[in-house]
Amino acid sequence: MLLGRRPERIRLDGLLAGARASHSQVLVVRGEPGVGKSALLSWAARQVAPARCLRAAGVESEVDLPFAVLHQMFLPGE
Ligand SMILES: Nc1ncnc2c1ncn2[C@@H]1O[C@H](COP(=O)(O)OP(=O)(O)O)[C@@H](O)[C@H]1O
Ligand SMILES: [Mg+2]
């Protein structure tokens, strides 16, 4: 359960509404480790139903691998 973060949730709700209207957007979520970025994004991912949410995470050790994020999203089991 996500506690608080009302301004951030309102911002993400707006972004998701845009996505439902086929407007692509980018939002950068920044903050110190442990501040709640992943929790906020998990909340946002739960709001997209019945649409599907694809998630991927950048890993520093994969910085030289081309298309590593695309592999995460579209090659399940890889
Ligand atoms: N708003 C919140 N409500 C409830 N739990 C939270 C909230 N923000 C962070 N947490 C919890 O605090 C911990 C660290 O949050 P996390 O999202 O992993 O931080 P970050 O991704 O910024 O490093 C996690 O256990 C997460 O569930
Ligand atoms: Mg995180």
Predicted local distance difference test score (pLDDT) of residue 52: 87
pLDDT class for 76, splitting at 50, 70, 90? Answer: low
What number of helices (H) and strands (E) belong to the chain? 3, 0
Whole-angstrom Cα distance, residue 77 to residue 16? 28
Find the 55 Cα to ligand 1 centroid distance in Å: 17
Is ligand 1 within 6 A of the CB of residue 42? no
Q: 11 is written with which tokens?
A: 């911002």
Entry pTM: 0.86
Residue 15: its pLDDT value, please? 94
Check if 57 has its Cβ closer than 6 Å to any atom of ligand 1.
no
CA of 39 to the centre of ligand 1 (A): 5
pLDDT tens track for 12-58: 999 999 999 999 999 999 999 999 999 999 999 999 988 888 888 88
